[in-house]
Amino acid sequence: MTEPYDDGLVIAGVTLRSRLFIGTAGYPTQSIMADAVAASGAEVVTASIRRVSLHGHGSDTVRKLKGYRFLPNTAGCETARDAIMTAELAREALDTNWIKVEVIGDRDTLYPDVVELMEACRHLVDDGFVVLPYCNDDPVICQRLADLGCAAVMPMGSLIGSGMGVANPANLELICRRAGVPVIVDAGIGTASDAVIAMELGAAGCLLNTAVAKADDPIRMASAMRYAVEAGRHAHCAGRIPKRGRAEPSSPQLGLVGS
């Protein structure tokens, strides 16, 4: 029996109709950002707490996106201690216990520091947070994060902001099959076809920012991403045909006129 598309994405008991999570940074204007978020159909928006907590620009983001579920992140943190402190600030500033945990170990690649990430997630789960960690595309690490009690795992498709798409589809498919919690592909999505591939591999959702914010037309790209995520989910649930090394006619060969 095939799985319906509209079963909803459930995270920590919350059912989301949209499987697209979208960021709020880097848009040409705040008005374009708000229109792009609306065009994406997303219910969850991400933002760096360090930016949102500032007066002016950050508070304007919160005002313009009133009614959306905020997923604050710990972007810029390099230690578990900093990530924990930032998460606590986010909970106070935005009145939410949802947190995307980022602990960066290398400034050039923005790869996660797995040791510090695990420590931060363990502490935050114990403190009652709904933890969604940004991590590398390692099935073992994703499984350990799930075992810690993370509500979802967010493996990178490829380097943050690179637009390279899903660099390691075999790993991502394995993670999706084994994780036991929703898998949200985070980082590297560059265009709609990348989102389709991620969803076809079994991802529960996609999180993206740069692909929309830096597009020539962010609003149109946001709309494209909305339908790409839906199309990929439909295709995954429908089940693709097997690949073959030979042609196989779609019409029967028997009973042809003149045969």
pLDDT mean over 237-250: 85
H/E stretch holding 212 reads: helix 210-213
Two tokens, residue 188:
């590297």
Q: Give the span between the Cα atoms of 58 and 146, in whole angstroms.
A: 31
How many residues in the chain? 259
Whether 247 has a pLDDT exceeding 60, the answer reads: yes
pLDDT score, position 228: 96
Between 108 and 74, the more confident residue is 74
151 belongs to a structural domain: yes
User: Does residue 77 lie in a domain region?
Assistant: yes
- The H-or-E segment that residue 114 falls in is helix 114-126
221 inside domain = yes
**Cα–Cα nearest to 93, from 116, 61, 125, 124:** 61
Q: Specify the pLDDT at position 57.
A: 47
Q: Has residue 94 been placed in a domain?
A: yes
pLDDT digits (tens, 9 = 90+) for 120-141: 999 999 999 999 999 999 999 9
What would the mean pLDDT of 239-249 be, rounded to a whole number? 84
Top-confidence residue, 35 or 244: 35
248, part of any domain: no
Is 51 part of a structural domain of the chain?
yes
> pTM of the prediction?
0.86
- Looking at the chain, the whole-number percentage of residues with pLDDT higher than 90 is 70
Tell me if residue 214 is catalytic.
no
Instruction: Give the residue-averaged pLDDT of 214-242.
Output: 94
pLDDT at 85 over 80: yes
Is residue 2 over pLDDT 70? no
The reply to whether 218 falls in a domain is yes
Please tell me the total count of domains within the chain: 1
Whole-number percent of the chain with pLDDT over 70:
90
What CATH number does residue 101 fall under? Answer: 3.20.20.70
Catalytic residue among 64, 100, 214, 243: 100
pLDDT digits (tens, 9 = 90+) for 154-209: 999 988 888 888 999 999 999 999 989 999 999 989 999 999 999 999 999 999 99
Is residue 68 within 8 Å of 44, Cβ to Cβ?
Answer: yes
Q: Tell me if 228 sits within 8 A of 192, measured CB to CB.
A: yes
Which pLDDT belongs to residue 21?
97
Residue 54's pLDDT band, with cuts at 50, 70 and 90, is very low
* Enclosing domain of residue 150: 5-238
